[in-house]
Amino acid sequence: MNPSSVLKTYFGYDSFRSGQEDIIQSILGGKDALAIMPTGAGKSICYQVPALLLPGITLVISPLISLMQDQVKSLNESGIHAAFINSSLTETQISKALNMASKGTYKIIYAAPERLESGGFLDFALNTSISMITVDEAHCISQWGQDFRPSYLKIVDFIDRLPKRPIVSAFTATATEEVKTDIECILKLREPSIVVTGFDRENLYYRVEHISGKHKDAFVTDYIEKHRDESGIIYCATRKNVDTLYENLFKQGVAVTRYHAGIDNETRKKNQDDFIYDRTPVIVATNAFGMGIDKSNVRFVIHYNMPQSMENYYQEAGRAGRDGENSQCILLFSQQDVMINKFLLEKKEFEGSDAEDMELIRQRDAQRLRLMEGYCKSTTCLRQYILSYFGEKMSRPCDNCGNCHREYTTVDMTADAKWVINCLAETRGRYGQSIVTGTLLGANRARLREIRATEYKSYGVLSHRSEREVRLLIDQMLLEGYIIQTEGEYSVLQMGDIGRLKNEDTRVAVRTFEEKRAPAKIKGGKKRSTDALTSAGYRLFEKLRSLRLVIAREEGMPPYIIFNDRTLIDMCAKIPKDKQEMLQVSGVAENKFQKYGQRFLEEIGQFTADNPGAVISTQIEDEPEAAAELPEKKQEREQDKVNQGTAWSEEEDERLSEEYLSGMKIAEIAREHGRTSGAIRARLKKNGLIV
C-alpha cells in the first residue's frame, strides 16, 4: 500500500490536506519531522498513515489519558490495531498489552511520558522494533510553552537508550519561534523536515466584548438561548466563576455541565463524557479542561475571563470548529481579568526550575499577559493580531472578525481624561473602575449615595458619554500610564503619571465604535455545509444524526467517532444507494462501512421513499456576475487575484472542492479564486464534481 491508499482504505478520504503529504513522505524517507499545524488540520493523520507503512511499532507519546483513549477508539473503529498504556489500566492489563504489542498485534502504542521510566515499559522498548517515536503536543517540552511538563524532558533520554534510534516526529498546534527551536533542540531532531502550515483558522470568527460583572452572565445566557442546538465550551479563570456560572445556567434550564480540578475524579470524568458524548451540549470549565478533547462539533468557545497568554487563547479557542464548520470564539473582557491573572501568576509554582529560571519565566509570563491584554483592547483586525503574534503576516484585515465589523471613530477625550483624574482625587484612590465609571456617568446607585459620591464635583460630568466610552477612556489612560490599577483581589484605580496631562499639547485620543454590520459569513461568504441543504435535506441530516447517536450509545463511544457532521452532510448531498456509492462519501472507509454503512443506507433509503422527488441539496445554477465594484475595491481584487488564467495548484483544487461541496454558488467561488464562472465550471467538471 502507499499513503494515498492507506488514507482511502482506513480513513475514507480521497486526498490529503495541505502539508500532510509532505510530512508523511519525509517520515517514510527516514527523516525526522516537526509539524506545526492548527487544530483541526489533521495532525494525527501525519503519523498514523506512515505508522501503517513502517515495518515496526510507532510509539506515540501523549500527555493526557483522554486524548489517548479517544485516539485509540477512533483507530480501532477504522480497523487499525492500536492500544494505550496509562494509569487507567491495571498492571495485569498493561503487561498483556505490551506482550501483544511485542508479538506485532498493535501497530501504534500510545503512552504518557511518565511511563517511559517504568522498568517494564523500558524492557518492552529495548526488545521491540520501534520504527518511529511521535511526540504529540510537543510544545509541552519547552518551559517557554504554555503547558510545560517536566516529564517531557525525559523523552530524549529514553530515545538515547534504545538499541537503534527510530525516526522522531513532533507535532503541535501552538508554537512561537522560540518554542519551535526548543522542540528541535531538546528532542535532538536530526535535520528534520519542518512543516508549518500556518496558524489561520479561517472558519473561526473572533470577537471581543468589553463586559464586566453581572453583564457577562447575561451575555452568556442570551447567547446560549439563541444557539440552543449548538455545542460549546465556556472557559472561566477560577473554580468559583465556573461554579457560579454553571449554577446560573442550570437554573435557567440550560443543559450544562462543569469541569475543574476541585471536582472529584469520578464526577469530573462523568461530566467530561456527558459533553463528549453529546448528552450535555454545554460545559463550563477552567483551563484544566480541553487538551486532547477531540470533539469535532463544538460551535462556540466563550472565554468568560481573559486567558493568561495568546498561546492559551489560541489553543482553547481552537477547540471550536474542528470539523471545519463555521464557529465563534468570543472573549468577554473586563479590566478585572488582568488583575485576576496577575494574582494567579504570582501563585504559580515552577516544578524543577531554579531561582534564575523562575524569574525569567515570571518575566515571560508578565509579557505574555500584556500581549493578551493588548489583543483584548486592540481596535484592529483580531485575526491579524493573532497571526502576527505567531510570526505570520496578513496583508490586510480579514473582514471577518468582530473588530472588522465595527465602525471606529477617533474621539479627542482629553478634557474627559482630566475629569477622570479629578474623580480619582475626590475618591482618594479607594475605589475600582465600577465606582469611578458610575460616578462620572452620574449613575443612580445606592452604593454611590452610600459613599457620598453624588456630592463630588465629578459626579455626572460625563453623563453625555456612554458607559462603553467611559470604560474605553479609562482603558486608554491605563495603557498610557496616566492612571494605574492596583493588584490583588480588590483592585482600585489611582493616579499615575498625570504630569503630561498638564501640557497643553497632550491629547488623549480614544477609538470608539459602533457595530457597522452583522458578522459576514466566515471565509468571506462561505456558508456552513448545512446551508447547502434544503429543508428536506436538513430533516434527513437530523435523522442521520439521531441514528448516529443511537449507534454511539450502543457502542459506548462519542458520536463523532462513528461519523462526523461533515460526513453526514456529504451523505445528504450524495444520497448513496449502495456500498459503492457510500464509499464515495468523504470519511466513509471500508471498515466503517462494514460496521455501520448498511444502517445509514437504510435510513437514507427510507427517507427518500417517504419523500419522493424531494430536493435534498441545492444544485448548481447559473448566477449573474458580481455587480460593478468601486474602483479601489476593483484594484485591490485585481492585485490579490493575479491567478486568473494560471494553472491550478493542488491546494487550490482542494479548496475548490471544499467550497463547492459546502454549497457555495459558482459566482461566489469565481470571486474567491479570481477566475471566471466558466473556468470554475470547467474545473469542477474535470474533477468529477459536476457532469
Q: What is the pLDDT of residues 172-217, one digit of tens each?
A: 988 888 889 999 999 999 999 999 988 899 999 999 998 877 789 9
Where are the domains positioned within the chain?
3-196, 204-402, 415-501, 527-610, 632-686
CA-to-CA separations, 333 to 213, 238, 493, 690, in angstroms, rounded: 10, 15, 17, 47
Question: All 3 cell numbers of residue 577?
Answer: 444507494
- Cα torsion 584, 588, 593, 597: sign: negative
pLDDT score at 526 = 46
Identify the residue whose cell numbers are 477504522. Answer: 78
CB-CB neighbours of 221 under 10 Å: 16
527-610 has which CATH code? 1.10.150.80
Strand partners, 333: 210
Domain 3-196 identical in fold to domain 204-402: yes
Alpha-carbon gap, residue 300 to 311, rounded angstroms: 18
Alpha-carbon gap, residue 376 to 237, rounded angstroms: 15
Q: Are 427 and 455 in contact (CB under 8 A)?
A: no
Q: For residues 176-188, b (16+ Cβ closer than 10 Å) or e, as one string?
A: beebbebbbebbe
pLDDT score at 5 = 93
35 CB-near residues (< 8 Å, 6+ apart)? 19, 23, 43, 46, 169, 170, 171, 172, 194, 195, 196, 197
pLDDT score at 612 = 87
Helix/strand/coil (H/E/C) assignment for every residue in 359-372: HHHHHHHHHHHHHH
544 CB-near residues (< 8 Å, 6+ apart)? 568, 571, 572, 600, 603, 604
Do you know the residue count of the chain? 691
CA-nearest of 576, 661, 670 to 619 is 661
CB-CB neighbours of 204 under 10 Å: 27
Strand partners, 207: 330
Question: All 3 cell numbers of residue 111?
Answer: 503512552
The DSSP bridge pattern shows strands 406-412 and 509-515 to be antiparallel
pLDDT score at 256 = 96
CA-nearest of 256, 286, 257, 255 to 271 is 257
Identify the residue whose cell numbers are 440552543. Answer: 228
CA-nearest of 200, 185, 205, 208 to 390 is 200
- Cα torsion 189, 179, 385, 383: sign: positive
Q: For residue 172, how far is the Cα from the chain centroid?
A: 13
Q: How far apart are the first and last CA of the chain?
A: 31
Structural domain 3-196, CATH architecture: 3-Layer(aba) Sandwich (3.40)
pLDDT score at 29 = 95
Which residues of the chain fall short of a pLDDT of 50? 518-526, 619-645, 691
Q: Give DSSP secondary structure letters for 582-603.
A: HTTSTT--HHHIIIIIHHHHHH
Alpha-carbon gap, residue 111 to 125, rounded angstroms: 12
Strand partners, 651: none
CA-nearest of 12, 18, 33, 30 to 136 is 33
Q: Are 356 and 284 in contact (CB under 8 A)?
A: no
Question: All 3 cell numbers of residue 392?
Answer: 505570520
CA-nearest of 516, 423, 402, 403 to 473 is 423
pLDDT score at 488 = 58
415-501 has which CATH code? 1.10.10.10
pLDDT score at 625 = 33
pLDDT score at 523 = 44
Query: Which CATH number fits the domain 204-402, given the four candidates 1.25.40.10, 3.40.190.10, 3.40.50.970, 3.40.50.300?
Result: 3.40.50.300
pLDDT score at 661 = 61
Taking phi first (over 0 means left), then psi (-120 to 50 degrees means alpha), and beta for anything else, what does residue 346 get? alpha
- Cα torsion 520, 393, 290, 210: sign: negative
DSSP H helical segments within 556-630, as ranges?
A: 559-562, 565-574, 579-582, 590-592, 598-610
